[in-house]
């Protein structure tokens, strides 16, 4: 059953009224819970996609190679990038050790394991590791060009938007292939 946006709204509003609000917002608060929430929803829609592939005309391999446009990366790349963005944000902002993971997962099962491992990394990071990181210089190299950010600007203008972009592309690819998911699955899928 597709989770309606009204159901998602109910789930999310219940969660937001039970969370503590008596402390200042930190970089940890703006990133780690959001990454965990997004990965949990991504895992949920992946489960629905796997069930759909088992019952329909489209195969798992076809879904993994599906893309929205010929010049865009396939579904599997979207999952890798969501996980890498969350993981690398921790490395860049907190200075924790690099966590290399090969981008070679090509099945629903291995994608789920990758998502679960990324959530585990996020759950293991300590809030204090973000202390003072707002102004920390973060350098990221893209297309052989080094770009400099502060910890705050890196998270709010690149990492978090990039994370959600690739979740939304993955969602859109699944919808395009016929997977019966809806807005509620994107917003609160897998949440309790």
pLDDT, tens digit, for every residue of 3-17? Answer: 676 676 566 556 544
Region 174-192: mean pLDDT is 88
Q: Which residue has the tokens 């609000």?
A: 21
Range with the largest mean pLDDT of 2-16, 104-118, 177-191 = 104-118
For the domain 30-188, what is the CATH superfamily, name and number? dinb family like domain (1.20.120.450)
Would you state the pLDDT for residue 126? 94
Region 15-20: mean pLDDT is 52
Of 17-31, 61-75, 91-105, 124-138, the least confident? 17-31
CB-based contacts of 70: which residues, under 8 Å, 6+ apart? none
Taking the CA atoms of residue 96, residue 148, residue 86 and residue 20 in that order, the dihedral angle to the nearest 10 degrees is 80
Instruction: Say how many residues make up the chain.
Output: 192
Would you state the pLDDT for residue 8? 63
C-alpha to C-alpha distance for 103 and 109, rounded to whole angstroms: 14
Would you state the pLDDT for residue 156? 92
Coil, helix or strand for 138?
strand
Cβ burial 75-112 (10 Å sphere, 16+ → b, else e): bbbbbbbbbbbbbbbbebbbeeeeeeeeeebeebeebb
CB-based contacts of 121: which residues, under 8 Å, 6+ apart? 86, 87, 90, 99
Q: How far is CA 108 from CA 48, 74, 84, 97, in A?
A: 10, 14, 17, 28
Q: How far is CA 3 from CA 6, 42, 49, 168, in A?
A: 8, 13, 14, 16
Would you state the pLDDT for residue 192? 63
């Amino acid at each position: 059953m597709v989770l309606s946006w009204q159901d998602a709204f109910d789930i999310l509003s219940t969660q937001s009224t039970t969370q503590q609000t008596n402390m200042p917002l930190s970089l940890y608060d703006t990133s780690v819970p959001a990454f965990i929430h997004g990965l949990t929803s991504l895992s949920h829609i992946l489960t629905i996609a796997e069930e759909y592939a088992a019952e329909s005309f489209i195969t798992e391999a076809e879904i993994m190679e599906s893309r929205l446009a010929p010049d865009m990366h396939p579904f599997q790349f979207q999952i890798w990038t969501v996980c890498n963005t969350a993981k690398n944000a921790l490395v860049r902002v907190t200075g924790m050790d690099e966590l290399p993971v090969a981008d070679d997962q090509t099945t629903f099962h291995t994608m789920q394991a990758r998502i679960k491992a990324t959530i585990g990394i996020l759950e293991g990071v300590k809030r204090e590791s973000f202390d003072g990181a707002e102004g920390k210089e973060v350098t990221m190299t893209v297309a052989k060009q080094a770009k400099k950010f502060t910890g705050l600007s890196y998270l709010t203008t690149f990492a978090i938007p990039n994370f959600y972009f690739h979740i939304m592309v993955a969602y859109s690819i699944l919808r395009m292939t016929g997977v019966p998911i809806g807005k509620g699955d994107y917003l609160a899928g897998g949440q309790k």
